[in-house]
Amino acid sequence: MEIKTVGMVGLGTMGAGIAQLCLQAGFETVGREISPAAAERGHAQIKRFLDRNVEKGRMTAEERDAALGRLTLTTELEDLAGCDIVIEAIVEQLEPKRQLFAALDEILAPGAILATNTSALSVTEIAAATRRADRVVGLHFFNPAPVLPLVEVVRGQLTDEAVAQQVYAFAKAIGKDPILCHDTPGFVVNRVLIPVLNDAVRVIDEARVTPEDLDKACRYGLGWPLGPCALIDLIGVDVQVHASEALFEGFKESRMAAPARLVNMLNAGLLGRKSGRGFFTYDEQGNRVD
């Protein structure tokens, strides 16, 4: 099946960014959210970034308007029935993703592809909730999706190789530089990154260093473009904790487990940029104010 129409379930930060890429690349895109208000917030975010592209000369106003014209908003899963590929970017928890994929499996045409933007959960376990495990693939974008070039195309245990290659080509078509890998906890990037970030957070307490100074040390001492605390705030403390849980479940290595400091921040609702406060404080536009 040729990919012409894309479904996007979840229009939060990641979902809106992925939808923007699809619209810019010329794909008709159906964005589904749980409420009209959430859908409108997603639309506003997409428009804001497209407006910025116009301001910076990356596209014309006519191209922006044409891209927005390819977007359809809905709160009904059934409106995704005509999509050739549906990408989910909902909460990073296994059971909600499995429930969503089971529902989509009943709605979509037999040849349609299901893709999950999970950062660390098992693509194979998500696919097992459907009767089309051969047509389920991981499609892991990095935040911010419109900016960072990498996408991990993850084969589940039963993913058909032709489907993986088709999704790889789709990722290139929307302007990304993808890599292919197999399903393993954390895939490639997070298998390396998540335990490193956890170690960095533990250093805060072990070395009694401030988050500001830890970030300064990693930026100027290790050449990181962004310090670990600022990076976790960008990723989301909740995402870091859930990814850590998935890695620990898979490998049973203590450094994979989320540090107590991160778990306490999650329980307190200090999620980073998305909540306005994490290691640092942010305004409504996501700019640091401390």
Residue 108 within any structural domain of the chain: yes
DSSP letter, residue 190: H
Q: Quick check: 112 pLDDT over 80?
A: yes
Out of 88, 122, 140, 242, which one is annotated catalytic? 140
Residue range(s) defining the domain that contains residue 230: 190-267
Q: Are residues 249 and 177 in the same domain?
A: no
Q: Are residues 63 and 137 in the same domain?
A: yes
How far CA 18 is from CA of 61, 63, 285, in Å, comes to: 20, 17, 19
Structure confidence by residue, pLDDT tens digits, 171-220: 999 999 999 999 998 999 999 999 999 999 999 999 999 999 999 999 99
Residue 82 within any structural domain of the chain: yes
Out of 117, 119, 122, 198, which one is annotated catalytic? 119
Residue 84 within any structural domain of the chain: yes
Q: Are residues 140 and 32 in the same domain?
A: yes
Out of 117, 190, 198, 244, which one is annotated catalytic? 190
Q: Are residues 256 and 147 in the same domain?
A: no
C-alpha angle 64-66-69 in degrees, rounded to nearest 5: 110
Instruction: Answer yes or no: 182 catalytic.
Output: no
The CATH number linked to 218 is 1.10.1040.50
pLDDT on residue 290: 77
Residue 272 within any structural domain of the chain: no
Q: Are residues 213 and 103 in the same domain?
A: no
pLDDT on residue 42: 96
Contacts of 123 (CB under 8 A, 6+ apart): 116, 136, 137, 138, 154, 155, 156, 159, 183
Q: Are residues 235 and 161 in the same domain?
A: no
The whole model's pTM is what?
A: 0.88
Structure confidence by residue, pLDDT tens digits, 46-82: 999 999 999 999 999 999 999 999 999 999 999 999 9
Residue 33 within any structural domain of the chain: yes
Q: Are residues 107 and 237 in the same domain?
A: no
Tokens of 248: 């620990």
Contacts of 268 (CB under 8 A, 6+ apart): none
Out of 88, 92, 152, 245, which one is annotated catalytic? 152
How far CA 137 is from CA of 33, 121, 152, 166, 288, in Å, comes to: 21, 12, 10, 10, 36
Structure confidence by residue, pLDDT tens digits, 155-167: 999 999 999 999 9
Instruction: Answer yes or no: 190 catalytic.
Output: yes
Residue 283 within any structural domain of the chain: no
Give the integer Cα–Cα distance in Å for 88 and 109. 17
Q: Are residues 106 and 143 in the same domain?
A: yes
Q: Are residues 222 and 263 in the same domain?
A: yes
Structure confidence by residue, pLDDT tens digits, 220-273: 999 999 999 999 999 899 989 988 998 999 899 999 999 999 999 999 999 999
Instruction: Answer yes or no: 152 catalytic.
Output: yes
pLDDT on residue 92: 86
How far CA 169 is from CA of 108, 112, 127, 267, in Å, comes to: 21, 15, 21, 40
In this structure, is the dihedral angle defined by the CA atoms of residues 193, 198, 203 and 206, taken in order, positive or negative?
Answer: negative
Tokens of 264: 């306490």
**What secondary structure does DSSP assign to 210-235, as a single string?**
-HHHHHHHHHHHH--SS-HHHHHHHH
Instruction: Answer yes or no: 287 catalytic.
Output: no
Query: Crossing angle, helix 211-222 and helix 189-206, to 10 degrees?
Result: 130
